[in-house]
Amino acid sequence: NYYSTDAPENKELSQTIYRKLKANGKIATKTIEQFFDPVKNMFLPDRFIKGECPKCHAKDQYGDNCEVCGATYNPTELINAYSAVSGAAPVRKETEHYFFKLSECEAFLKEWTRSEAIKGKPTLQGEAANKMGEWFENGLNDWDISRDAPYFGFEIPDAPGKYFYVWLDAPIGYMASFKKLCEMKGLDFDEYWSKDSETELYHFIGKDILYFHALFWPATLEFSGHRKPTQIFAHGFLTVNGEKMSKSRGTFITARSYLEHIKNPEYLRYYYAAKLNSTMEDIDLNLEDFVARVNSDLVGKYINIASRTAGFINKRFAGKLNPSPDNAVIAELKGAAQMIADAYAAREYGR
């Protein structure tokens, strides 16, 4: 079901989950300092602030997490911060915010991130679990789940002018979309999302949002009485000719631009599939390699084999195939089915 996070189901679920977390003693309020735009006279949400990452010192990063190193931080930790609205240097003002007590969830998360899902398979990839371990070494801070108006999204119950931080309600959008599907198909939502559900749930995400999906999200689910993901699979970024996508550097390619030049999307799908694997490493779209692989693999092998086979069938067998299934070649192809299925299950698509 293709849906939106501003749906009524998401508002209902977000507020319900918040109330359950609060009832379980996992919500606290604290007076903190936030950046305030003196020109626009407004508190600045994370995405309205930019500056230098306090961890890796990458420039022009937003106020909640770094898109370069993946670190999360408080907006006030940004170096040389400026308002994305007015360009002014923000000042600090006190405000009351709502926090999810993530620090109290550390024991649960340490166990869950190193747990096994089904058939002995780990819940997280080894690289992802190791990354979680780095964050545990520094200790988990409580998670600020509120933002001051003006802010998009849903208002926190009984807290006028305070809104849920986008990364609280965004993952709940998975549940909301599925709940809408259940209503349309007559399915039991709780059968899939209750704490004791026996169904399987998988997330495929980018490695830049691993922190939110492997720490905040399972803790939110656990302490609001819902099931956790069976497994989470993180992928790397797509680079172009070895460089990060950038409009200014000419390495940013849109789907429309690709179709205008190449026409056939199947070539690109094949190229990505041939490189996809189970790790978090980046995939590079090397344009010279792309042309060479399409010509050698798709045209030189598959299409050439089909073309030559069709010629033989027409020339020597009157255009008819052997009706007998007892053929050594067919048996060999059928025998490869399990190997192919295993490779898919292991997410080794390029194999």
* pLDDT tens column, 263-294: 899 999 999 999 999 999 999 999 999 999 99
Which pLDDT band holds residue 94 (cuts at 50, 70, 90)? Answer: very high
Whole-angstrom Cα distance, residue 288 to residue 312? 34
What would the mean pLDDT of 154-165 be, rounded to a whole number?
94
Whole-angstrom Cα distance, residue 85 to residue 76? 16
Which of 222-251 are b and which e, b meaning 16 or more Cβ less than 10 Å from the residue's Cβ? bbbebbbbebbbbbbeeebeeeeeeeeeee
Say what the pLDDT of residue 272 is: 94
What would the mean pLDDT of 153-176 be, rounded to a whole number?
95
Q: What is the dihedral of CA 277, 281, 286, 292, to 10 degrees?
A: -30
Beta-carbon neighbour count of residue 211 at 10 Å?
A: 18
Which pLDDT band holds residue 229 (cuts at 50, 70, 90)? Answer: very high
Structure confidence by residue, pLDDT tens digits, 42-86:
999 888 899 999 999 999 999 988 888 878 888 899 999 999 999
**What Cα–Cα distance (Å) separates residue 262 from each residue in 255, 267, 278, 286?**
10, 9, 28, 14
Which pLDDT band holds residue 17 (cuts at 50, 70, 90)? Answer: very high
Say what the pLDDT of residue 252 is: 86
Say what the pLDDT of residue 71 is: 83
Per-domain residue ranges of the chain: 238-320
Which pLDDT band holds residue 348 (cuts at 50, 70, 90)? Answer: very high
Say what the pLDDT of residue 147 is: 92
Contact 34, 91 (CB under 8 A): no
Question: Tokens representing 239?
Answer: 């680079």
Most confident among 116-120, 199-203, 252-256, 338-342 (mean pLDDT): 199-203
Q: What percent of the chain has pLDDT over 90?
A: 71
